[in-house]
């Protein structure tokens, strides 16, 4: 499952690289797209903690299958940094804490 999250992030980075190769400023493009890369990876962390998650995307679909092993505790805490470039609303909804 983690591999899928990494693959989705890879596809996002690939889009950014394509934009740079077409003449966009690399630094500006990375700043604009960093938050998207982060969300792609984070989404699958949450799904791994859900019983029988349903996934439907352009890459794959999955339902009726559970991901094992599950965490020993109910949830693996996630502390989100300010460098993730997410809104405070997103951090409050998806994280357990915020590190500035």
Based on the structure, what is the number of domains in the chain? 1
Identify which has the larger pLDDT, 46 or 63.
63
Asked whether the predicted pLDDT for residue 65 surpasses 80, the reply is yes
Computed from CA positions of residues 44, 50, 55, 36, in that sequence, does the dihedral angle turn out positive or negative? negative
Asked whether the predicted pLDDT for residue 59 surpasses 70, the reply is no
Residue 30: give the domain boundaries: 2-99
Its pTM stands at 0.56
As a whole number of angstroms, the distance between CA 91 and CA 21 comes to 32
pLDDT of residue 13: 86
pLDDT in tens, 17-37: 999 999 999 999 988 888 888
């Amino acid at each position: 499952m983690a591999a899928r999250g990494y693959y989705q992030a890879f596809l996002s980075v690939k889009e950014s690289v394509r934009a740079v190769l077409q003449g966009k400023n690399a630094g500006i493009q990375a700043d604009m797209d960093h938050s998207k890369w982060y969300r792609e990876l984070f989404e699958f962390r949450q799904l791994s903690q859900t019983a029988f998650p349903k996934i439907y995307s352009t890459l794959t679909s999955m339902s009726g299958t559970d991901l094992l092993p599950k965490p020993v505790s109910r949830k693996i805490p996630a502390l989100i940094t300010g460098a993730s470039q997410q809104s405070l609303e997103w951090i409050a909804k998806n994280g357990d804490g915020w590190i500035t």
